[in-house]
Amino acid sequence: MSREDALVRSWSHNAEAWTRTVREGGIESRRLVTDVAIVRTVLERRPERVLDLGCGEGWLARALAEQGIGVVGIDVSPELVDAARRAGGGEFHALAYDALAADPALAGGEYDAVVCNFALLDEHPVPLLSALRRVLHPGGALVIQTVHPWTAAGEGRYEDGWRTETFEGFGEGFAEPMPWYFRTLESWTDVIAAAGYALANLREPLHPNTGRPASLILTCVMQMTLSPGESPV
């Protein structure tokens, strides 16, 4: 089995445990920092319609819906999509990233923002991100929140490569570990450029207790469509 297939399978096998952990606030960094950070970043764009790519059990869709934003959520795990549908707050579909890259029209309509909240975990995201330009309104934004490369590198080498998430400390019920692809900051900027975007804003939300960056948030616009007051970083 390839790492990509194992990554997809882990989300289905861990769906129940992940849903419980997210809804009970079991991940400290999300509870204290990253959930609020991504919501604020998206709201600053003042979108009317958002595509939540890798929506999981739907918490972000619900948070945005509370602000009057229409949300469509897409996730590869049917189990997580079912959990999102039961909770409401948006329109949710189970769809593989490869299928979406091949036909972005499957996402439906056009969006003011496409949000990937800890949802780009495979080695080759450029085809997907490039295809999603076709569902963004002119002036729309791609917003990515991911683990901060400096913090996530830990004791390992600071270089791109596959790693393993064991979900230790996330609570009980996680059935299997998850492979995921680590990227350096340089690698992230290369991905964004290769997919046809310009980096408009970069943020590093800090954990209030450790003072270390809890995540990296990249706001990207289609090349040559930077808003007034913004400039490529």
Q: Name the H helices within the chain.
A: 3-13, 15-23, 28-29, 35-44, 59-65, 78-87, 97-102, 126-131, 149-153, 185-194
H helix or E strand, kind and range, residue 8: helix 3-13
Average pLDDT over residues 59-84: 98
* pLDDT band of 66, cuts 50, 70, 90: very high
Q: What is the DSSP letter of 105?
A: G
Q: How many CA atoms lie within 13 A of 190 on its CB side?
A: 8
- Predicted confidence at residue 224, as pLDDT, reads 63
- Predicted confidence at residue 232, as pLDDT, reads 42
Q: Residue 233 pLDDT more than 60?
A: no
Residues 68, 89: Cα–Cα separation, whole Å: 10
Architecture of domain 3-222 in this structure: 3-Layer(aba) Sandwich (3.40)
Give the SS3 label for residue 51. strand
Give the SS3 label for residue 65. helix
- Predicted confidence at residue 223, as pLDDT, reads 83
Sequence-ordered list of residues with C-beta below 8 angstroms from that of 213, at least 6 positions apart, any chain = 148, 150, 151, 204, 205, 206, 207
Q: Residue 28 pLDDT more than 80?
A: yes
Q: Between helices 78-87 and 3-13, what is the axis angle to 10°?
A: 40
Average pLDDT over residues 43-65: 98
- Predicted confidence at residue 226, as pLDDT, reads 41
Give the SS3 label for residue 135. helix
**Angle made by CA atoms 192, 224, 185, in degrees to the nearest 5:** 20
Q: Which residues pair with 206 in a beta bridge?
A: 213
Instruction: Name the residue with tokens 């959930």.
Output: 35
Sequence-ordered list of residues with C-beta below 8 angstroms from that of 196, at least 6 positions apart, any chain = 129, 130, 133, 222, 223
Percent of the chain beyond pLDDT 90? 90
Residues 161, 39: Cα–Cα separation, whole Å: 29
> In this predicted model, what pLDDT tens digit does every residue of 181-204 receive, in sequence order?
999 999 999 999 999 999 999 999
> In this predicted model, what pLDDT tens digit does every residue of 147-194 receive, in sequence order?
999 999 988 899 999 999 999 989 889 999 999 999 999 999 999 999
- Predicted confidence at residue 230, as pLDDT, reads 47
Q: Residue 110 pLDDT more than 60?
A: yes
Residues 59, 38 contacting (CB under 8 angstroms): no
Give the SS3 label for residue 70. strand
